[in-house]
Every structure is written in C-alpha cells, then in structure tokens.
Amino acid sequence: MRSQRQPRDVEAPPAADGVHLPGNLRQFRLQAGLTLDQLAERSGVSRAMISKVERGVSVPTATVLGRLAAALQLSLSQLLGQAKTRGPRLLGRAEQPVFRDPATGFERRSLSPLFADGGVDVAFNVLPAGRAVAFPAHHTGVEEYLVVHEGVLAVVIDEVAFTVAAGDSLFYPSDRVHEFRNETDRPVTFYIVIDDRSKR
C-alpha cells in the first residue's frame, strides 16, 4: 500500500512563515561538516534545491523538508524554529513557526518552544481534502503520538494502514516511512507529539 509517488523538488516563493529555515538549514549543515553535495547525497535532495532553500528563494515540499531533517538527524521544528532558553515560556500564536507545503497545502504549526538541548515537540497539522503527504524515516529512537482533532485521517506506516477518526490516537515509532492521507472531502486537523528518546 506504499505510495509510488516520488517526492518532487517543488519551488514556491518563500512565505513569511518559516523565516528561520534558510539560516537554520545552512547552520546545521555546516555544524555537521557537510558540503551542499554531501548533504544532497545523504538526503536525496538535489544540490540545487538545497542551495535555493538556504538562500530563501524556494520553499521545499514537506517530504523534501523531512528528508533534509532526517539526513541531519533533526526534527522539523529544529529546522523551522528558533531555539529558546529553557524555562517557563509562553509561546504566542504569532511566535509559533508555521510550514506550508507548496505542493499539497499541508500546514504544520509548531506549538512547543524549541530548546537547544532537545525535548518533546508538539505540532498542530492541517491536511486539505484529498491530499497526502509522506515523510521519510526519522533516526532510531524517535516516536510519535498522533491525535486527530477533526475529520478522519489514514496513516500508512511501512505499508500498514490505520484509520484514525476524531478523538482517536495512534502511537508509532517513526524510524520508518510514514504517510498521512486525507481521503475525505473535508480538511483533517491533527496533533502530533514527537519524542526523541535518543537524546536522553
């Protein structure tokens, strides 16, 4: 039941949301000691696309963003957000990093503050009617807890499909390919809590 669609390097004008992505991607790539060519080889994303994202002239698809995060062993929030000092913190809606997939309209809003030393990551997601988005395997130790807020979501993990309705929850180790499909005629909204146990 695995999707046969290949991720595409879709280009779109950069949105005001995700303003930290270009600088973050470059910073994390350099911290990992990787050239553009090396990150391209490790992630399967073209060198040209990585360069365009780092220069802020293109927005990657969710799948491409996931490939880059996986290659650097980062969460999507680490690529999209700005690290804060650990302590009591109110994260207003205007401060919550938002990523919008130019290919599918999938939207991901980071709800939890981003701390330099890692931690639990909470995201609110909207998947438009009739759309699907796939993410590559994360590194070993990453687990996800998904709760559907409104609608019905099909979640495919290593070719096994789960139907998750409003109020239902699904747990899965995310060190495997996982795809979200909205096979209905209405948007689906859902929360994901991402726990990177490898950082403990």
In the chain, where the domains are located: 93-199
* Per-residue model confidence (pLDDT) at position 17: 52
DSSP state of 198: G
Q: pTM, whole model, 2 decimals?
A: 0.83
The span from the CA of 23 to the CA of 35, in Å, is: 15
Give the pLDDT confidence of 43-63 residue by residue, as tens digits.
999 999 999 999 999 999 999
Residue range 181-200: mean pLDDT, rounded: 92
* Per-residue model confidence (pLDDT) at position 9: 40
Give the pLDDT confidence of 84-94 residue by residue, as tens digits.
778 898 889 98
The span from the CA of 153 to the CA of 164, in Å, is: 5
Give the pLDDT confidence of 126-155 residue by residue, as tens digits.
999 999 999 999 888 899 999 999 999 999
Tokens of residue 10, six digits: 């879709």
Contact 80, 97 (CB under 8 A): yes
Least confident window among 75-84, 98-107, 129-138: 75-84
The span from the CA of 43 to the CA of 11, in Å, is: 17
* Per-residue model confidence (pLDDT) at position 12: 37
Task: Please name the residue ranges forming H helices in 19-159.
Answer: 21-31, 36-43, 47-54, 62-72, 76-80
For the chain, the residue count is 200
Give the CATH superfamily of 93-199.
Jelly Rolls (2.60.120.10)
The span from the CA of 166 to the CA of 155, in Å, is: 13
Q: Is 164 helix (H, G, I), strand (E, B) or coil?
A: strand
